[in-house]
Amino acid sequence: MRYLVSANWKMNKTVAESLEYLEIFLPKVEDITAVDIMIAPSFTALASASLKLEHSHVYLGAQNMYYMDKGAFTGEISPLMLTELDVDYVILGHSERRHLFCEKDDLINKKMISAVEHGIRPILCVGETLEERELGKTLNVVEKQIRTAVAGIEKDMIYIDIAYEPVWAIGTGVNATPKQAQEVHRFIRELISDISKGNDEKTRILYGGSVNDKNASELIKEPDINGFLVGTASLDPDKFFNIISHVIEA
Ligand code: PGA
């Protein structure tokens, strides 16, 4: 399985800043073919980033998407608008979308179906809050999030990646320990293998939540961690490159 290292820039970087970053970053990864690399800039930077990535093997991602092709949905972005820009991936169900913007499992399910239908590879984010972890509910929460998100497209698991991102680890500087992450990743692997009837051999299970160039090498040694979804540390091209290097070394 090819591992995937992905950058989620969130609401950071203007168009000019995004291009400046790519100017520094792309030459560094020019010869890297051992892993897949993806960058998800802001929506306003997608078109320029797409042009910049045209002759590069770095994949382009969007941070969100609505499920309808077009219509009266003020402020939303459709899958057709993304495929027009050669967007390869879309991050769906991110905890910030769930918690700050009240996205529910059934909406995420519609987006997942639409992304797969349009050939945009979703990275489905799942993860428990601190309270849920302390109550021993982690695996139940993750199972419910995954089952509802892929309802109706279980057989298409091969076209989907999953990011386990414990809410308490996102943007806090406190990452899950390799052992904590591995336990959940193992559970997710068994779950998706079961619900897809083994059609999950291309599905990467990424870890996300305060990944940096210090903790990446230990985390990636775990057998069921197949890459990362990186927020804060991906904003710096050197740090993001170092994380990619750790994944290649593993
Ligand atoms: P972080 O964000 O690396 O800043 O914790 C990860 C994410 O939200 O995808």
Atom of ligand 1 nearest to the CA of 211: 3
250, pLDDT greater than 90: no
- CB atoms under 10 Å from CB of 241, counted, come to 18
Task: Look at domain 4-112+123-249 and name its CATH class.
Answer: alpha beta
Percent of the chain with pLDDT over 90: 99
37, pLDDT greater than 90: yes
pLDDT band of residue 201 (cuts 50, 70, 90) is: very high
Q: Is 229 in the pocket of ligand 1 (CB under 6 A)?
A: yes
Ligand 1 pocket: which of 165, 214, 228, 242 to mutate (most atoms within 8 A of CB): 165
Q: Which residues are catalytic?
A: 94, 165
Q: Is 171 in the pocket of ligand 1 (CB under 6 A)?
A: yes
Q: Is 127 in the pocket of ligand 1 (CB under 6 A)?
A: no
For ligand 1, atom 2: residue with the closest CA: 231
Distance 139 CA to ligand 1 centre (A): 20
Distance 62 CA to ligand 1 centre (A): 15
Distance 233 CA to ligand 1 centre (A): 8
- CB-count exposure of residue 47 (10 Å: 0-12, 13-18, 19+): middle
For ligand 1, atom 7: residue with the closest CA: 231
The overall average pLDDT reported for the chain is 97
12, pLDDT greater than 90: yes
Q: Where are the domains of the chain?
A: 4-112+123-249
Distance 210 CA to ligand 1 centre (A): 6
The arithmetic mean of pLDDT across residues 222-236, rounded, is: 98
pTM for this entry: 0.97
DSSP string, 192-217: HHHHTTT--TT--EEEESS--TTTHH
| pLDDT tens readout for residues 100-147 | 999 999 999 999 999 999 999 999 999 999 999 999 999 999 999 999
Tokens of 16: 């000019």
| pLDDT tens readout for residues 66-111 | 999 999 999 999 999 999 999 999 999 999 999 999 999 999 999 9
